[in-house]
């Protein structure tokens, strides 16, 4: 029977070194770089919250303490804001703080790949389905990507992978899925390949970094050998699970900003700034002038 148990927990692999953003990421984790005035990780946690996730599991690494601090109370700051009657700022902090006991941290001690990072969360997740959100990607959509996936999961159960279409010459950068018959609002996934060689991708639907997975993935990851890039790949383990469980593809139709890359990060900043009533009137004309000046 296809497993449809409630998805309560979400895993966020945040152990990456962020080498594409050096020197900034020498001392600041890439997940803490700001898009307008919130760190990237906050957007991703908000997406999970909107989807009804109750427990947040961070797989961290060395030099990531500030992520733990960020999700904790800052007594001194709160005290100072209170003394100065900074009510709006106090509300921002109160809204951002997760409920006590709903956040867990574990460490990936070695950078062995995404599959290994997910496996590091096995004891905290336990024997239940879970969401996985790669924090490089910020998604903007109504509903949010994970919300839409949870809705599809309610129909189909099993495992869900969010996908989007890419230009064929970009497929070698991603995990790519093979497309089968329609399932609810999605489609059955027939195959998967991580970073296919040019011209060999089974489709142009790439895995965008959002997953709902059944816990059987952990025992497969336990023995998973290294794959593309000499890393333990989640996609390879999912391909093995596909032999015994169903995977559905959820086509996300909102916007995705790959904040692991400089262009995506800059675009996210511009897009979210233009959505804000307190910022848009001050920057819109300058943005236009900057772009026109380039012509
Ligand atoms: C990872 C996944 C890949 C997915 C991508 C999305 O790759 O392994 O399947 O398409 O995230 O960003 P990475 O970006 O870590 O190389």
- So what's the pLDDT on residue 188? 97
In this structure, what DSSP letter does residue 124 have?
H
Q: How close is the Cα of 174 to the center of ligand 1, in Å?
A: 5
Which residues does the chain have with pLDDT short of 70?
1-2
User: Quick check: 256 and 139 in contact, CB under 8 A?
Assistant: yes
CA distance 105 to 126: 14
Residues of the chain by 3-state class (helix, strand, coil), percent to 5: 40, 25, 35
Q: How close is the Cα of 53 to the center of ligand 1, in Å?
A: 22
Tokens of 183: 């399932």
Q: Whose CA is nearest to atom 3 of ligand 1?
A: 175
Greatest alpha-carbon pair distance for the chain in Å reads: 63
- So what's the pLDDT on residue 149? 97
Q: How close is the Cα of 207 to the center of ligand 1, in Å?
A: 7
User: Residues 6 or more apart from 51 whose CB is under 8 A from it?
Assistant: 7, 131, 144, 146, 147, 149, 150
Can you tell me which atom of ligand 1 is nearest the CA of 194?
9
Can you tell me which atom of ligand 1 is nearest the CA of 174?
10
3-state secondary structure of 85: coil
Q: How close is the Cα of 43 to the center of ligand 1, in Å?
A: 18
- So what's the pLDDT on residue 185? 77
For the four alpha carbons of 15, 17, 21 and 27, in that order, the dihedral sign comes to positive
Give pLDDT tens digits for 65-114: 999 999 999 999 999 999 999 999 999 999 999 999 999 999 999 999 99
Can you tell me which atom of ligand 1 is nearest the CA of 175?
9
Tokens of 95: 């809204």
For a mutational test of ligand 1's pocket, the pick from 14, 108, 195, 207, i.e. the residue with the most ligand atoms closer than 8 A to its C-beta, is 207
Q: Which domains does the chain have, with CATH numbers?
A: 9-260 (3.90.550.10)
For a mutational test of ligand 1's pocket, the pick from 59, 175, 195, i.e. the residue with the most ligand atoms closer than 8 A to its C-beta, is 175
Closest CA to 239 of 278, 213, 262: 213
- So what's the pLDDT on residue 229? 87
- So what's the pLDDT on residue 227? 87
């Amino acid at each position: 029977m296809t497993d449809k148990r409630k998805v309560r927990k979400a895993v966020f692999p945040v152990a990456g070194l962020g080498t594409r953003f050096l020197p900034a990421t020498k001392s600041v984790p890439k997940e803490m770089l700001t898009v307008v005035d919130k760190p990237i990780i906050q957007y991703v946690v908000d997406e999970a919250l909107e989807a009804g996730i109750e427990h947040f599991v961070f797989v961290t690494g060395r030099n990531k303490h500030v992520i733990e601090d960020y999700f904790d109370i800052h007594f001194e700051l709160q005290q100072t804001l209170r003394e100065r009657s900074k009510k709006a700022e106090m509300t921002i902090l109160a809204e951002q703080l997760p409920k006590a006991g709903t956040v867990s941290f574990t460490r990936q001690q070695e950078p062995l790949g995404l599959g290994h990072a997910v496996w590091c969360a096995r004891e905290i997740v336990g024997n239940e389905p879970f969401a996985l959100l790669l924090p490089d990607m910020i998604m903007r959509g109504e509903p949010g990507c994970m919300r839409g996936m949870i809705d599809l999961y309610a129909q189909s159960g099993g495992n869900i992978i969010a996908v989007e279409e890419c230009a064929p010459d970009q497929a070698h950068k991603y995990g790519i899925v093979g497309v089968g018959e329609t399932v609810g609002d999605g489609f059955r996934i027939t195959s998967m390949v991580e970073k296919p060689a040019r011209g060999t991708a089974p489709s142009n639907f790439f895995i965008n970094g959002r997953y709902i997975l059944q816990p059987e993935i952990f025992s497969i990851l336990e023995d998973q050998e290294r794959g593309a890039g000499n890393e333990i790949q989640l996609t390879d383990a999912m391909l093995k699970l596909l032999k015994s469980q169903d995977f559905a593809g959820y086509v996300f139709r909102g916007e995705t900003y790959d904040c692991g890359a400089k262009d995506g990060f800059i675009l996210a900043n511009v897009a979210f700034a233009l959505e804000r009533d307190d910022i848009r009137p001050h920057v819109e004309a300058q943005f236009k002038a900057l772009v026109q000046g380039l012509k």
